[in-house]
Amino acid sequence: MHGEVDASRGPRTVIAAANVVGAGLASWLIFRDGVTPRDVALLVCAWVYVIRLFLTSFVLLRRGVGWSEAAQVGSFVLFLQGFLGFLGSRSGVPWRALDWIGVVAYVLGSYLNTGSELQRKLWKARPENKGHLYTQGLFSLSMHVNYFGDVVLFSGFALLTTSPWAFLLPVVMAAGFVFAHIPMLDGYLAKRYGDEFTQWASRTKKLVPFVY
């Protein structure tokens, strides 16, 4: 539904509710056997993601969201929250210096995702920018820096669980972006913005700043 401005309250609410249920499940799994510094970090990650998804869904995201997308995204966020909570609850590893890298990655990824969306929304709200493609701010670093932010933040979240299995999530997420979401979105943007998109694509990396 790219290009369609639609409140889509029902589908957005389904996604948000699934995220809350997932974070609640993760909280129960994490705290059922006591509280450690790792537990607290995992809990903060789970609920900060809930807050950010609320902000994105109900404030920053302008396009329509269909019921099919709501079912897919809702199921995914419910799974990822529960999966990461489950793996983190089984860790038993004391807090390590390495875990601070996970915290930094989570914060950085959250900023890249939500910060880029906020920059675009503010720019789009100015009348003189109506009908033009936003290519500034964080989107000058990569064409899909918001997607990159998701990969970075969930890599940090995965690191905090101490389980190598957790890294399947950011890997699958990155593959989904590269092989499905980005080609579809780029096709829409090229059709809508023409030369503006072509020029942006010629000078800007696709997903990972300075790399790809």
Give the pLDDT confidence of 119-164 residue by residue, as tens digits: 999 999 999 999 999 999 999 999 999 999 999 999 999 999 999 9
State the Cα–Cα distance between residues 119 and 138, nearest whole angstrom.
8
Range from 3-7, 9-13, 75-79 carrying the lowest mean pLDDT: 3-7
pLDDT of residue 6: 58
Quote the DSSP letter at residue 115: I
For residue range 164-200, what is the model confidence (pLDDT) as tens digits? Answer: 999 999 999 999 999 999 999 999 999 999 999 999 9
**In this structure, what DSSP letter does residue 60 have?**
I
The pLDDT-based confidence of 59 (bands split at 50, 70, 90) is: confident
Give yes or no for residue 1 having a pLDDT over 60.
Answer: no
- Whole-angstrom Cα distance, residue 184 to residue 178? 10
pLDDT at residue 5 tops 60? no
Task: Give pLDDT, residue 169.
Answer: 95
* pLDDT (0 to 100) of residue 140: 97
Identify whether the C-beta of residue 26 lies closer than 8 Å to the C-beta of residue 82: yes
What is the mean pLDDT of the segment spanning 67-94?
93
Q: What is the pLDDT of residue 186?
A: 97
Is the separation of the CB atoms in 87 and 163 below 8 Å? yes
* Cα 144 from Cα 140, distance rounded (Å): 9
Residue range 97-113: mean pLDDT, rounded: 97
pLDDT in tens, 7-56: 678 888 999 999 999 999 999 999 887 789 999 999 999 999 999 999 98
Query: 171, 152 in Cβ contact below 8 A?
Result: no
Q: Using one digit for the tens of pLDDT, what is the confidence trace for 108-123?
A: 999 999 999 999 999 9
DSSP string, 154-206: HHHHHHHHT-GGGGHHHHHHHHHIIIIIHHHHHHHHHHHHTHHHHHHHHHSBS
CA distance 69 to 180: 14
